Amino acid sequence: MQDVKPLVRVSGLRKYFHSQQGWFNKTPPVKAVDGVSFDIYPGETYGLVGESGCGKSTLGRSVLRLFDITDGEIEFAGQNIANMSDKQLKPLRRRMQAIFQDPYSSLNPGMTVAQLIAEPMKIHGYGKAQREARTIELLEKVGLKAEHLNRFPHEFSGGQRQRISIARALSVNPEFVLCDEPLSALDVSVQAQVVNILQDLQQALGLTYLFIAHDLSMVRHISDRIGVMYLGSLVEEAPAEMLYTEPAHPYTRALLASIPVADPHVQMLERGGISGELPGAISDWPGCKFANRCPRAMDKCQSQSPVMQEISPGHRVACWLFEEK
């Protein structure tokens, strides 16, 4: 990967949400994403995990510029898109698409399947005959049939709706797809089918994914590399198998220990290792944001924020434990 240029490069990305300000309202901003940097290479799946509210979805949507960012740089295919206007971004929108979490709300209930899949193509100037042929082709790729074209979203199961969402995202031949928790609203029995579809399409079309999820075992299965987020910051990044077999950050270790194991004789050594209060996304915390909950915190952790450093090839971590060694 080192000899290949990243398709997506994120540097020092910050996204703060400000409340309404008045004369007597000086509430600090919510730091949803606070100085995150990472690269995603062509053809790979970059997994992103962390607790609810840690900023994963905000980060993903900021990368696609669905949000205006507060600070930092976002490069897509060598172009800095961080401060582009909507007009400047439009030609790039075709190359960057998204599959959202809830297919019940992300599909317009008043549109047929044919209209839903064809809409992005219509926006980007595809002709009518091209739209119709492409729509049927995509339905078959995701395991549906032409007979479904004139049906509405409420006539499908959750798994089928997510297949429609995938077809819609791929309609304009994107290179990069944000998968924003695409499995969390689906039954477990359906999740594996959707993952298999995503992997097959990636192989066939050369797609690059940013895959955000809560299901740690599923992220391990689909990802090439994984980043771990905590309160708006990236605390660890490593190849998928390395992250699961050699987790370095205390938060990552506790997070992985929370995965249920179907064996009552397996001792969960790290369970219960996280305690203490969250500092909150609006706090100006001077040190490591995990310090109050970390069983291995040192005095330095309370006063100085650690920076990401490489502890082995491809394995980066933001923790003072490794600085001390």
The answer to the question of residue 18 being in a domain is yes
Q: Residue 224 is part of a domain; what is its CATH number?
A: 3.40.50.300
Please count the helices (runs of H) and the strands (runs of E) in the chain.
Answer: 12, 12
Which pLDDT score, from 0 to 100, does residue 273 have? 52
First and final C-alpha spacing in the chain: 28
The answer to the question of residue 315 being in a domain is no
The answer to the question of residue 249 being in a domain is yes
270 band by pLDDT with thresholds 50, 70 and 90: very low
CA distance 10 to 33: 12
The answer to the question of residue 69 being in a domain is yes
The answer to the question of residue 231 being in a domain is yes
The range of the structural domain enclosing residue 66 comes to 8-95+174-264
H/E segment holding residue 211: strand 208-212
The answer to the question of residue 224 being in a domain is yes
**Tokens at residue 132, please?**
């119709």
Q: Please answer whether residues 315 and 242 qualify as being in contact, where contact means their C-beta atoms are separated by less than 8 angstroms.
A: yes
Q: Which of 43 and 20 is assigned the larger pLDDT? A: 43
Which pLDDT score, from 0 to 100, does residue 269 have? 45
Which pLDDT score, from 0 to 100, does residue 215 have? 80
The answer to the question of residue 45 being in a domain is yes
- pLDDT for 65-105, tens place per residue? 999 999 999 999 999 999 999 999 999 999 999 999 888 88
The answer to the question of residue 111 being in a domain is no
**Tokens at residue 226, please?**
């994984």
Number of separate domains in the chain: 1
- Phi first, then psi, for residue 143 (nearest 5°) are 90, 20
**CB neighbour burial string for 142-174, b if at least 16 within 10 angstroms, e if fewer:** bbbeeebbeeebeebeebbbbbbbbbbbbbbeb
